A and B are shown apart, each in its own frame.
Chain A
Amino acid sequence: MVTEAANGVSLFLPETYDVVWSLIILVIVAVFFYKFFLPKFQAVFDERAAKIEGGIAKAEQAQKDANAAKAKYEAQMSEARVEAAKIRDDARAEASHIVADARTRAEADAAQITANAQRSLESQQQQALVSLKGEVGTLATALAGKILGAKLEDKDVQSSMIDSMLDDLDAKK
């Protein structure tokens, strides 16, 4: 009974060698954790965090680049569209110009042709008139000969002569 009581108390009395070993182990373990174990892991944690942050930054940069490229492409697209529309408009304007030009030229040509025809008609008429005048002279000469030949007293003869002369003129004309 007495020994057991002594044992119970001695349970709570530190032995010298126990203190020594506990301290030795505590120091070893603490040095291990402070100087080796945790710094190693901390280095890896930091490196990993840096990698992840770098990756995120890279992804953001890529996204930005893609957005810029897209914006540029869209700008080019709309520019091209505007240009195409302009070219189309120009072409249309030019075409109508050409048509209008052609029409005016044709009209001018036509007018000129008409004028030429008119002029040639007039000159022919003139020629006809001139030649008619000449022929009228010969005819008159012939007629005068005839009149001189076939007696001029008879009224019938007179009128028929004039009629035939006029017929002649008509026919000549």
Chain B
Amino acid sequence: MIGAALNSLTLASATQPEYPSIDDFLPPELLFQGTPFAINRIILVRILATIIMLIVLGVTAHRVKLIPGRWQGAVEWLIEFVRDQIVYQVMGELRGKRYVPMITTVFCTLLVFNLCGIIPGFNIAASATITLPLVFAMWCFCQYWIAGIREKGLGHFLRDELFPKGVPAPIYILLSPIQLLELLVIRPFSLTIRLFANMVSGHLILGLCLSATQFFLIDIANKAMAPFGVITFAAGMFMFLFEALVACLQAYIFAILTTAYINMSFPEAD
């Protein structure tokens, strides 16, 4: 099967660019095939990214000093950004304190995983399978249910969510199922799909630009199309930077929406 794939690849490279496909997101298992611990390329990237992140941040935390150096200053800026600009901004300090570690975990991990998509050698976001965003979204799901039940009790929580105040009674026929759907499905899956689709599309577009550049500038014998290769290279550079932005932005959106969903489970003081 691998041989056939290689064959088709070499065949393709001669006549047309080696375009990226959704197969990139379903790579063959490399280790422990067939077991629940099977590792494919994306999971390998994920494990490596995790190890690197833990080592870098762990060493930073181990050597943390009262008077910060430049690197520690940058890490502290990141921690304070998540704490002040995401958590405290949305839910305030009193409620937010409990959720700072969770949101920091979500933001930092997704940021590193998303950035793997533009790190040469990795070349694919560690968050680019449906499962990883889903796992993080389920964490968020559990947290906002727990928060709702703890703060209001299950009955109160469901009543507030399914029958919002100030709505005429007949509307509830339409509104309540939508609200229930929102609470059970839409929130976690919108989080998941948003992140996953961004990572997939980013990889596909960046891969498209770079593979076209490779093909038109280097592989093809007829160099008449070389100017087009230059254009695709410029587009590839642009997409590279754009993906860096998207990686940060999606981590930020995921973190701030998680915070907002949890915050919605708290009773509104009015």
Contact across chains for B26 and A10 when beta carbons are under 8 A apart:
yes
B54 at the interface (CB under 8 A from A): yes
Contact across chains for B131 and A33 when beta carbons are under 8 A apart:
no
A32-44 interface mask toward B, CB cutoff 8 Å, 1 = contact, 0 = none?
A: 1110111011001
A25 at the interface (CB under 8 A from B): yes
If A17-B37, A21-B39 touch, whether A30 touches B102 (CB-CB below 8 Å) is yes
A153 at the interface (CB under 8 A from B): no
A20 to B100, CA, bound (A): 25
Contact across chains for B104 and A33 when beta carbons are under 8 A apart:
yes
If A14-B134, A21-B47, A26-B135 touch, whether A38 touches B109 (CB-CB below 8 Å) is no
A25 to B108, CA, bound (A): 13
Partner of B139, one of A14, A26, A32: A26
User: Which residue of chain B has the shortest Cβ distance to A13 in the bound complex?
Assistant: B130
Partner of A25, one of B23, B25, B46: B46
By DSSP majority rule, is chain B's interface helix, strand, loop, or mixed? helix
B165 at the interface (CB under 8 A from A): no
A159 at the interface (CB under 8 A from B): no
User: Which residue of chain A has the shortest Cβ distance to B63 in the bound complex?
Assistant: A40
Min distance, Cβ A51 to any Cβ of chain B, angstroms: 7
B36 at the interface (CB under 8 A from A): yes
Please give, as numbers and ranges, the residues of chain B lying within 8 Å of A20 by CB-CB distance.
36-37
Min distance, Cβ A107 to any Cβ of chain B, angstroms: 88
Contact across chains for A41 and B46 when beta carbons are under 8 A apart:
no
Please give, as numbers and ranges, the residues of chain A lying within 8 Å of B64 by CB-CB distance.
40-41, 44
User: Which residue of chain B has the shortest Cβ distance to A15 in the bound complex?
Assistant: B131
Contact across chains for A7 and B39 when beta carbons are under 8 A apart:
no
Min distance, Cβ B250 to any Cβ of chain A, angstroms: 17
Please give, as numbers and ranges, the residues of chain B lying within 8 Å of A38 by CB-CB distance.
79, 100-101, 104
User: Which residue of chain A has the shortest Cβ distance to B25 in the bound complex?
Assistant: A11
Contact across chains for B79 and A48 when beta carbons are under 8 A apart:
no
Partner of B26, one of A7, A30, A44: A7
Please give, as numbers and ranges, the residues of chain B lying within 8 Å of A25 by CB-CB distance.
46-47, 50, 109, 132
Contact-size category for A: 35 or more
B248 at the interface (CB under 8 A from A): no
Contact-size category for B: 35 or more
A88 to B101, CA, bound (A): 78
Partner of B135, one of A4, A23, A40: A23
Contact across chains for A8 and B102 when beta carbons are under 8 A apart:
no
Contact across chains for A34 and B36 when beta carbons are under 8 A apart:
no
Please give, as numbers and ranges, the residues of chain B lying within 8 Å of A171 by CB-CB distance.
none
Please give, as numbers and ranges, the residues of chain B lying within 8 Å of A8 by CB-CB distance.
22
Min distance, Cβ A30 to any Cβ of chain B, angstroms: 5
Min distance, Cβ B20 to any Cβ of chain A, angstroms: 13
B114-134 interface mask toward A, CB cutoff 8 Å, 1 = contact, 0 = none?
A: 000000000000000111101
- Find residues 86-111 in chain B having any chain A CB closer than 8 Å to their own CB: 100-102, 104-105, 108-109
Please give, as numbers and ranges, the residues of chain A lying within 8 Å of B32 by CB-CB distance.
17
Please give, as numbers and ranges, the residues of chain A lying within 8 Å of B109 by CB-CB distance.
25-26, 29
Please give, as numbers and ranges, the residues of chain B lying within 8 Å of A158 by CB-CB distance.
none
Min distance, Cβ A78 to any Cβ of chain B, angstroms: 47
Contact across chains for B131 and A14 when beta carbons are under 8 A apart:
yes
Contact across chains for A17 and B26 when beta carbons are under 8 A apart:
no
Contact across chains for A41 and B76 when beta carbons are under 8 A apart:
yes
A14 to B138, CA, bound (A): 13
If A11-B26, A28-B50, A36-B61 touch, whether A47 touches B101 (CB-CB below 8 Å) is no
If A12-B130, A21-B43 touch, whether A44 touches B65 (CB-CB below 8 Å) is yes
A2 at the interface (CB under 8 A from B): no
Closest 7 pairs between A and B when the two form their complex, measured CB to CB = A17-B38, A18-B131, A40-B61, A33-B105, A22-B135, A14-B131, A34-B101
Q: A17-B37, A48-B66 are in contact. List 9 more A-B contacts (CB 8 A).
A: A11-B200, A17-B36, A21-B47, A28-B50, A29-B105, A33-B101, A34-B102, A36-B61, A38-B100
Ordered by A's residue number, 11 sampled pairs between the chains whose C-beta atoms are within 8 Å are: A17-B29, A17-B35, A18-B131, A22-B129, A22-B135, A23-B135, A29-B105, A29-B109, A34-B101, A37-B57, A44-B64
